[in-house]
Chain A
Amino acid sequence: MKAEYQYLVAKLQRALAEDPRVNVLDIKVMMVAEKIHLTGQVANEEHKMAATKVALLVLPDLEIRNELTVLSVGAPAQPEAIID
């Protein structure tokens, strides 16, 4: 990867953390064959779509592949006993 690509990836990672439409600190940003891949989990579809918008603002000349998954939430599991 060209040296400057690392800085673009870092710039986007920071934007995804700092932009109020996303504010997710652990979205993984990868550049593969001049395409940007976003992976990781977000809370809902709105955040997922917002991630693409933010990515396009930061890197308008690159193709964005949004591979984020929306976190699914299940019912609580059996309790665990913590015995003193």
Chain B
Amino acid sequence: MIRIATIADVHFSQTTDGLLRPYWSSLHECADLFLIGGDLTTHGGADQVAALARELSYVRVPIVAVLGNHDYHSNQDKEVRKILEAAGVIVLEGTNTTFTIGAESIGIAGTSGFGGGFAGACGSSFGEPEMKAFIGHTERLANSLEAALSDLKTDFRVALLHYSPVKDTITGERLEIYPFLGSYLFAEAVDRTGADLIIHGHAHHGQEKGITAGGVPVRNVALPVLRRAYAIYNLEKAAHSSTGAAQGSGAISESPRTSCNTAAEISAS
């Protein structure tokens, strides 16, 4: 079993410094990896990502992240990436990374992703150069995600995005903005190569759980959706399921109570 802690849309600024540290400092007790699905900062300022890097220094497992639209806003995304990498965070964009945990291996392929909408009501690479550029960008990122995923020869494969690949996990958002929340091209790319899990953020008013047409579980881990410091997903092979659940079925596994999963709520305000 490989345990993944994950969050997205923490929108860090200097004023959020210290908010998540009490939870992140004990994350290693219940997770082997920490994945962050974009929007790490409020507007992509170097000072904001430096504040986040200080917070992440309390995390004692490998950290993998993708950037989100907020992280690009100040046109300092290269600097944002540099600061994160100097802090030991692996930042993916059309690339992958692998880990061996115990006797099992896991590969993460990541992209920020982009918009365009979902099957049946999506944009096309047609018309003005700006429209073709919009959809063309999404197509290129989906192709790079597919390539990065198919390159992985690990026991488990996870796709990490900021934008959503499916409609399920953005249900709750206004329909008019669906094209700005993600694209079906990412789900199609993952379904072509196969994966065990897709993680994304971006849709603050969406739902946590969804699934691609090909049956890959999708999880929206944006902080406003989870309202918790992170979610934990335990990846297990059916034959070795510790829960004894039927093959292919998901189940909530009980884990020993640790400081990771106590029910105490601490309000931020």
Main secondary structure of the interface of B (DSSP, over half): loop
CB proximity of B206 to chain A, nearest CB, Å: 11
The verdict on A45 contacting chain B, using a C-beta distance below 8 Å, is yes
Main secondary structure of the interface of A (DSSP, over half): loop
Q: Are B252 and A74 neighbours in the complex by a CB distance under 8 Å?
A: no
Q: Are A76 and B196 neighbours in the complex by a CB distance under 8 Å?
A: no
The verdict on A44 contacting chain B, using a C-beta distance below 8 Å, is yes
Size of B's binding interface in residues, CB under 8 A: 57
Q: A23-B42, A70-B269, A74-B266 are in contact. Are A44 and B234 (CB under 8 A)?
A: no
Q: Are B232 and A76 neighbours in the complex by a CB distance under 8 Å?
A: yes
The verdict on B124 contacting chain A, using a C-beta distance below 8 Å, is no
Size of A's binding interface in residues, CB under 8 A: 24
Contact of B227 among A71, A78, A79 (CB under 8 A): A71
The verdict on A73 contacting chain B, using a C-beta distance below 8 Å, is yes
The verdict on B229 contacting chain A, using a C-beta distance below 8 Å, is yes
Q: Are A74 and B265 neighbours in the complex by a CB distance under 8 Å?
A: yes
Q: A45-B269, A73-B19, A84-B237 are in contact. Are A78 and B261 (CB under 8 A)?
A: yes
Binds A, one of B54-62, B140-148, B160-168, B238-246: B238-246
Q: State in angstroms the CA–CA spacing of A29 and B237 once bound together.
A: 47
Q: Are A75 and B265 neighbours in the complex by a CB distance under 8 Å?
A: yes
Q: Are A81 and B243 neighbours in the complex by a CB distance under 8 Å?
A: yes
Q: Are B43 and A23 neighbours in the complex by a CB distance under 8 Å?
A: yes
Q: Are A80 and B30 neighbours in the complex by a CB distance under 8 Å?
A: no
**In the complex, chain B residues 54-90 whose Cβ is within 8 Å of any chain A Cβ:** 70, 73
Q: State in angstroms the CA–CA spacing of A39 and B205 once bound together.
A: 13
Convert A61-84 into 0s and 1s, putting 1 for each residue whose CB lies closer than 8 angstroms to a CB of B.
000000000111111111111111
Find the B residue at minimum CB distance from A74.
B265
The verdict on B11 contacting chain A, using a C-beta distance below 8 Å, is yes
Q: Are B252 and A81 neighbours in the complex by a CB distance under 8 Å?
A: yes
Contacts of B228 in A (CB 8 A): 73-77
The verdict on B134 contacting chain A, using a C-beta distance below 8 Å, is no
Residues of chain B touching chain A, judged by Cβ–Cβ distance below 8 Å, are 3, 5, 11, 13, 15-16, 19-20, 23, 30, 42-43, 45, 70, 73, 156, 196-197, 204-205, 217, 223-224, 227-238, 241, 243, 245, 247-255, 260-269
**Which 9 pairs between the two chains have the least Cβ-Cβ distance?**
A79-B232, A70-B269, A81-B253, A72-B267, A74-B265, A46-B15, A23-B43, A74-B228, A23-B42
